[in-house]
Structure formats: structure tokens, C-alpha cells
A = this chain, B = another copy of it.
Amino acid sequence: MGSLRKGEATRERLLETAERAVLDKGFSATSIEELIAEVGITKSGFFYHFRDKNELALAMLERYIETDLSELSAFAERAKQLSDDPLQRLLIMLKLYAELLDGVTPERSGCVAASMAYQENQISRQVAARMRDLVLAWRRHFRSMLDDVAERYPPRDAVDLDTVADMCAGVLQGAVVLAKMLKDQRVMGQQVMVLRSYIKLLFQPGLN
């Protein structure tokens, strides 16, 4: 059938190789020639799959968004199984995420979208649009969890829940940057745990 054609396999290997390289050293520092050498095809072969480097970026982003969002859903699902309480669910999910981050290798850590974000004005409109979609998806995801929490536990501080939802994604993005700057992966897990502390303080009753 068409679903597992040979071309798809090569394309996937290119995307996988590119993702590793991009997370390790950035998009513009990743050369096409380096990718084809690792995958074992020629330059012509590369341009058979992608019109140009920008289209590679778009495909990488598309792929990243898909896996990232399904990972997020999986964690939410797992948390749902582990507790009935909306606050506990959110806290469990953040703990799961922190544990995931502690186990990831330095070279593979980072966000494909964020690595492209800092090269703003050289990326295409389509890439920019998909980046925006991703942030909005994160916002929706955390917002819906926060809504469930706020319904049962009134927040202790007057904050906009969309902004708190953004913070959930933002703290992680910031933690990645700090981890890269410090060359210390541990800060990622740590930062998520501090975010958890905020959620606890914001909603959890009976904390003095």
C-alpha cells in the first residue's frame, strides 16, 4: 500500500536526522550536505523530497508538533487515570513531565519550534504560522486543565488563566534555554517542579 512506501522511509530518516542535528546545533548550522552524508543519499535525492531548506524546516516542525502534542495528551491521559481531582491531575502531569525531562540526553533536548523562533525574520510565513498554532495548542491544553481546577478550587490570586497556561509552556521554554546556557540538564526538571509549586500555591486550599 501507499502508507509505507520506500520514499516515506527515507523522508522520515531525513527528518529524524535533521531533528537531532537541529536540537544539537541549531537549524542554520545544520547543512544539507551533512544530512545526506548521514542518511546515505545524494543531494539530488534530498531535493527530491524537499524543495528547499525551508520546506525541510516546515516538515520538521509539522512532525515535531504532532509528536509533542500527542505526548502531551498521553501525559494528561495518564494523569486522568491516576486521580479524579483536577488539581492533582495537573500536578501529576507536571511531575511526569519533570521526570521525562530529567531522563532526556543533552543533545536531544530542546524544542524544534523554539530553535527556529530565534531566527524569526528568515523563516517562512508558513513556519511562523505553525509555530503560532503550536503555542495556541499548548495554551488550549493547559487552559482546559486549569479551568477544571479553578472550578473546584478558586484561585488565590487574580490572574488570567490564559496567561498561567502560557506560563506552563513558557517556563519549559525558558528552562531549555537556561539548561543550554548552563550546560546543566537538571534545571529543566527543577523548573517544572517550581512551576508545580506555583500551581499548588495558586489553587491548593488549606496551605495556611
Chain B residues with Cβ under 8 A from A178's Cβ? 135, 166, 169-170, 173
A44 interface residue per 8 A CB criterion: no
Bound form: Cα–Cα A117–B181 in Å = 6
A110 interface residue per 8 A CB criterion: yes
Q: Contacts A135-B178, A163-B194, A200-B157 given; indicate if A119 touches B29 (C-beta within 8 A).
A: yes
Chain B residues with Cβ under 8 A from A200's Cβ? 157
Bound form: Cα–Cα A70–B183 in Å = 24
How many chain copies?
2
Contact B29 A128 (CB under 8 A): no
Chain B residues with Cβ under 8 A from A183's Cβ? 128, 132
Q: Mark A54-77, 1 if CB is under 8 A from B, else 0.
A: 000000000000000000000000
Q: Mark A159-195, 1 if CB is under 8 A from B, else 0.
A: 1100110110111111101101111000100110111
Q: How far is the CB of A32 from chain B (nearest CB, A)?
A: 15
> A interface, how many residues as a size bin?
35 or more
A93 interface residue per 8 A CB criterion: no
Surface stretch bound by B, among A10-18, A20-28, A84-92: A20-28
- Interfacial residues, chain A to chain B (CB-CB below 8 A): 24-26, 28-29, 110, 113-115, 117-122, 128, 131-132, 134-136, 156-157, 159-160, 163-164, 166-167, 169-175, 177-178, 180-183, 187, 190-191, 193-195, 197-198, 200-202, 207-208
